[in-house]
């Protein structure tokens, strides 16, 4: 799964730590989500999408196998 | 607040383990080889526990949570691996020692092995999953 978190963070000039504070998780969690190494819960995905003023569909790119 | 309480409890536990180990070493006249290995494993576990506590404190100081859903998830996974290791170590290690050395371990030795192996597997799994991401 790919994400657009890094791109949107850059757009809003947010660091990983800023975003982590906004959604109440550790910085490493944002890092691993960005790298595609961790699949967030639906609640966290929703919170991140809300923080980046977008939707879950727009934020996460699901690839067909 | 809950995270701070957890850190205080964990720090007290680490201190109690170190004090117990210190008192044990003072009371022991002669330390055998297997005791050195056990003490070494305990010290590694204490060191890794201190690292986890320090990591939580660092996050809290930055205004981030001490634990989040990823950390809770990897704690559960590491706990599962530690549990499996406890079961297998209780069965396999005494059997292997009996076959190889012809020496039957008593219940106290087996309990110590189970605690050390499961604790070691838990901490190593936790750190591995922590670095890997999930």
Alpha-carbon distance values, B114 to B86, B91, B105, B110 (Å): 5, 9, 12, 6
Evaluate whether residue A11 is within a structural domain. yes
Distance, CA of A41 to CA of A26 (rounded, Å): 14
In this structure, are residues A38 and A10 in contact, taking their beta carbons and an 8 Å threshold?
no
Average pLDDT, chain B: 86
Evaluate whether residue A10 is within a structural domain. yes
Reported as a single tens digit per residue, the pLDDT across B53-92 is 888 888 888 888 888 899 999 999 999 999 999 999 999 9
* Residue in A closest to B134 by C-alpha: A38
Q: What is the mean pLDDT of residues A22-36?
A: 92
Alpha-carbon distance values, A64 to A2, B64, B76 (Å): 12, 35, 30
Alpha-carbon distance values, B8 to B18, B19, B48, B53, B57 (Å): 15, 16, 16, 9, 10
**In this predicted structure, what is the pLDDT of residue B28?**
79
Reported as a single tens digit per residue, the pLDDT across B90-107 is 999 889 888 988 888 888
The DSSP string of B34-69 is: HHHHHHHHHHHHHHHHHHHHHHHHHHHHTT--S--H
DSSP letter at A52 equals: T
**Residue A50 touches chain B, beta carbons under 8 Å:** no
Which residues, including other chains, have CB under 8 Å from residue B69's CB and lie 6 or more apart? A25, A29, A40, A41, A44
Evaluate whether residue A6 is within a structural domain. yes
- A26/B134 CB distance under 8 A: no
Task: Write out the two tokens for A45.
Answer: 């995905």
Task: Write out the two tokens for B32.
Answer: 């055998």
Evaluate whether residue A12 is within a structural domain. yes
**Residue A2 touches chain B, beta carbons under 8 Å:** no
Query: The domain spanning residue A47 has which CATH number?
Result: 1.10.260.40
Banded pLDDT at A15 (limits 50, 70, 90):
very high
Using only C-alpha atoms, chain A has a radius of gyration, in whole angstroms, of 11
CB < 8 Å to B63, chain A: 21
**In this predicted structure, what is the pLDDT of residue A42?**
94
Q: What is the mean pLDDT of residues B125-132?
A: 88
Evaluate whether residue A65 is within a structural domain. no
Token look-up 């406890």 returns: B86
Domain encompassing residue A13: 2-60
* Residue in B closest to A42 by C-alpha: B69
**In this predicted structure, what is the pLDDT of residue B113?**
87
Reported as a single tens digit per residue, the pLDDT across A38-60 is 999 999 999 999 999 999 998 88
Banded pLDDT at A65 (limits 50, 70, 90):
low
For B44, other C-beta atoms within 10 Å of its C-beta total 15
Domain edges within chain B: 2-132
Into how many domains does chain A fold? Answer: 1
Chain A to chain B, count of Cβ pairs less than 8 Å apart?
43
Distance, CA of B107 to CA of B113 (rounded, Å): 10
């Amino acid at each position: 799964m790919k994400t657009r978190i890094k791109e949107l963070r850059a757009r809003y000039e947010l660091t990983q730590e800023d975003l982590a504070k906004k959604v109440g998780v550790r910085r490493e969690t944002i890092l691993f989500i960005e790298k595609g190494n961790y699949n967030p819960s639906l609640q966290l995905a929703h919170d991140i999408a809300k923080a980046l003023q977008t939707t879950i569909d727009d934020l996460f790119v699901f690839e067909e196998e | 607040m809950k995270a701070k309480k957890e850190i205080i409890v964990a720090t007290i536990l680490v201190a109690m383990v170190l004090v117990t180990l210190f008192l044990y070493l003072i009371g022991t006249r002669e330390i055998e080889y297997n005791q050195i290995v056990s003490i070494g494993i305990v010290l590694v576990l204490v060191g890794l526990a201190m690292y986890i506590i320090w990591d939580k404190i660092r996050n809290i100081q930055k205004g981030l949570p001490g634990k989040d859903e990823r950390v809770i998830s990897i704690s559960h996974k590491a706990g599962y691996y530690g549990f499996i290791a406890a079961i297998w170590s209780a069965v396999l290690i005494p059997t292997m020692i009996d076959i190889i050395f012809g020496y039957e371990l008593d219940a106290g030795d087996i309990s110590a092995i189970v605690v050390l192996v499961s604790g070691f597997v838990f901490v190593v799994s936790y750190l591995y999953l922590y670095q890997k991401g999930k």
